[in-house]
Amino acid sequence: MLATLLTTKYVDGLPLHRFEKVLGRHGIDIPRQTLARWVIQCSEHFQLLLNLMRDSLLCSQVIHCDEARVQVLKEPGREPSSQSWMWVQTGGPSGRPVILFDYSTSRAQEVATRLLDGYRGYVMTDDYAGYNALGAQAGVERLGCWAHARRKFVEAQKVQPKGKTGRADIEPDQQAVRCRAGFEYCER
């Protein structure tokens, strides 16, 4: 039951109030408060595994980081319209990737430095200034994200006058070659 609960919530993205209704349709009456308590209790048991995953992540030569805005509707002491952040880090040994999600009410640079405290290696991020302090630490080299750089070229192409070309343009016969080269570089 716990495996189904966690899979439904975190893999399928189904909120607990909907999962409560699904169970009810099958004649199983489990209040969402109980489901929430089970999720919290599971997280306490998974802390050792999470610690091992973080250790593995911090041994990576390259870690990718990004943060995404999330909205939490009923968070104690905060307005429903408040913005929160899900910080994602991925790395790990080849063939055994580690992907960690960390929730924070802040997007401040202290979050990035706390999450990767003690790390030495390459950190690939977007251009958000919140990663500057992390990149300034001894032994940390900050890399730019190709997907974010590519977006600027796409935007430049869109604003070019019709029939005109510029540096953002690539000849059609070269697109596949350059895309493949970029993909192979990013997959190293």
pLDDT (tens digit, 9 = 90+) per residue, 105-140?
Answer: 999 999 999 999 999 999 999 889 999 999 999 999
Q: Convert the pLDDT of each residue in 16-71 to its tens digit.
A: 999 999 999 999 999 999 999 999 999 889 999 999 999 999 999 999 999 999 98
Instruction: Let me know whether 140 and 165 are in one domain.
Output: no
Instruction: Let me know whether 97 and 34 are in one domain.
Output: no
Tell me the residue range of the domain where 157 lies: 148-186
> Which pTM value belongs to this model?
0.70
Instruction: Let me know whether 99 and 139 are in one domain.
Output: yes
Instruction: Let me know whether 69 and 19 are in one domain.
Output: no
CA distance 124 to 113: 14
Instruction: Let me know whether 140 and 153 are in one domain.
Output: no
Instruction: Let me know whether 130 and 162 are in one domain.
Output: no
Question: Cα(first)–Cα(last) distance of the chain, in Å?
Answer: 40
Q: Is residue 159 part of a domain?
A: yes
CA distance 123 to 102: 17
Q: Number of folded domains in the chain?
A: 3
Nearest to 131, CA basis, from 186, 177, 85? 85
